[in-house]
Amino acid sequence: MEIYKDMVEKLKFHKNNIINSFIKKNYYPSNDEINAKLALVDSRLALFESYISKPGSYMNIKELNHCFEMIAKDIEILYKVLESILIEDFSALNVHIEAALTELESKADYYRKRCTEEIHSTTLGTTVFFQANNWKIREENEMNIIDLGTVKLIEGMEISCFAEINDVEDKDVVFQFDNNDAEKSFLALPYNYNNNSYKVPGILGINQYDLQMPVTSIVDDYIPIKYEINFENKYKIAGAIGGMQVTLKRTGETFLYKFANVDNAFVAEEDCFVEFYVLDGNTNPNATMEYSFTEAPISTNFSLQNGEIPLNKEAVKISIECQKGLGMFFALAAGNVYASLEDAIIVNKNTLIYKGNWDIRDFVLREYVRTNTSSYRVKVFVKTKDDIVGNIESIYIKEVTSWFFIIWDIVGLMRLINLV
């Protein structure tokens, strides 16, 4: 038989009465004797039993008082049971509310940190992994090891890693990406002002299409390109094959020049900036591009130590700040040179736009097919003896893009929408 709360209280009452009845007889009962008496009690019934009084009979005051006493006891038991239920329900509700508030606070903290991360690093690219709490950490040989679990990355994508940990320097942090294929495993350092980025082993498939604009075309805004878009893929537009851009410091005007090779050296007629891109040079292992200057330029985005520029990426940007009279030429071992390389801006499923140099008339549309993925078990190694749980703000991984956050010219955009 199932025992309910009110039955327990009634059994306590009957037990006290049984003990008292024995004591009044100067006899102290055993547990067996008490239980034997309790077995005769039906605890499902109320303590109060019906009271019958016939007309013309005398009232039994003692019996009547006992009836009222039992009614009061029954009500007292009901209140006790109700209080017990309310306390249990309140406690359960309180625990639920506290748990919900804790979860809400955790989510609020997560999104606050995520918002801070996006505000400060959106221009670097798209976030592919973010964590701000629920850390799995173990200590080993003065090293805190944070297990981030499994992260799926697209092969060939370029990533940067971030660890926002108070009182810990970046040099003491290392990301470890473990893959079932040992050749695909790699280590990465946190992003810093040296722009540490890492290419995920593997390659993106590239579909390439040649595009031409009539020389007579007048461009006074963005250049629309009709193409059926796959939103899973990425698109870049390279302009002016075999060319380079020269921007005058004095006026800010940009002109197209033929690529400066050994048969077509370039000499700066005034202070200027020279820029071009080498694409697909990395298809030839250890390929480089040799350079020669008549004197040291003001600045470059590559080392001037050994006369060679490594072509170890799918796209290598070359930037040179030139003084008047500086002469130069390059010897390219692999790949193709383009004057510009821009991320294509997706307008809709059938249209891309190019926002680079309007004087360019020949283009190559490069579609990066993002179908191959690899799963990595990611761990972060933090060299410190201290407990870092309370110091971790967030850890995240971003896919690096050259231009991710674009400030739109509203008027120009409206013209484009009307055009396409």
Confirm if 279 and 374 have CB atoms less than 8 A apart. Answer: no
Q: Is there a single domain that holds both residue 69 and residue 177?
A: no
Q: Is there a single domain that holds both residue 157 and residue 292?
A: no
Q: Is 59 exposed, middle or buried (0-12, 13-18, 19+ CB in 10 A)?
A: exposed
Q: Is there a single domain that holds both residue 265 and residue 292?
A: yes
Number of domains in the chain: 3
In a domain, 21, yes or no: yes
Q: Is there a single domain that holds both residue 357 and residue 219?
A: yes
Distance of CA 299 to the CA centre of its chain: 37
Cα(405)–Cα(403) distance, integer angstroms: 6
Q: Would you write out the chain's pLDDT as a tens digit for each of its 420 residues?
A: 556 777 777 778 878 878 878 888 788 788 888 788 777 777 777 777 665 566 766 667 777 787 888 888 888 888 888 888 888 887 788 788 888 877 787 777 677 666 765 655 555 678 889 998 889 999 988 899 999 999 999 888 889 999 989 989 888 999 999 999 998 999 999 987 666 788 899 877 888 888 776 555 555 556 777 788 887 788 898 988 999 999 999 999 999 999 999 999 999 999 999 999 999 998 887 899 999 999 999 999 998 988 999 998 889 999 999 999 999 999 998 999 999 998 888 888 888 887 766 677 788 889 988 878 899 999 999 998 888 888 898 899 988 865 433 333 334 444 444 544
Hey, what are 5's tokens? Answer: 């709360």
pTM for the whole thing?
0.52
In a domain, 410, yes or no: no
Residue 73, domain extent: 5-92
In a domain, 108, yes or no: no
Q: Is there a single domain that holds both residue 276 and residue 187?
A: no
Q: Is there a single domain that holds both residue 286 and residue 343?
A: yes
In a domain, 218, yes or no: yes
CATH number of the domain enclosing 188: 2.60.120
In a domain, 114, yes or no: no
Q: Is there a single domain that holds both residue 379 and residue 367?
A: no
Q: Is there a single domain that holds both residue 245 and residue 360?
A: yes
**Last residue within a domain, chosen from 38, 70, 92:** 92
Confirm if 364 and 238 have CB atoms less than 8 A apart. Answer: yes
Cα(103)–Cα(343) distance, integer angstroms: 40
- Contacts by 144-149, CB closer than 8 A, 24 or more apart: 144/381, 144/382, 144/384, 144/387, 144/388, 145/379, 145/380, 145/381, 145/382, 146/379, 146/380, 146/381, 146/382, 146/392, 146/395, 147/377, 147/378, 147/379, 148/378, 148/379, 148/380, 148/395, 149/377, 149/378
Q: Is there a single domain that holds both residue 163 and residue 288?
A: no
Cα(334)–Cα(287) distance, integer angstroms: 6
In a domain, 420, yes or no: no
Cα(378)–Cα(145) distance, integer angstroms: 10
Q: How far apart are the first and last CA of the chain?
A: 79
**Last residue within a domain, chosen from 92, 110, 133:** 92
In a domain, 323, yes or no: yes
Q: Is there a single domain that holds both residue 383 and residue 257?
A: no
Distances (CA, A) of 167 to 96, 173, 393: 35, 12, 11
Cα(280)–Cα(312) distance, integer angstroms: 9
Q: Is there a single domain that holds both residue 178 and residue 223?
A: no
In a domain, 340, yes or no: yes
Q: Is 167 exposed, middle or buried (0-12, 13-18, 19+ CB in 10 A)?
A: exposed
For 20, phi then psi, to 5°, come to -65, -35
Q: Is there a single domain that holds both residue 48 and residue 87?
A: yes
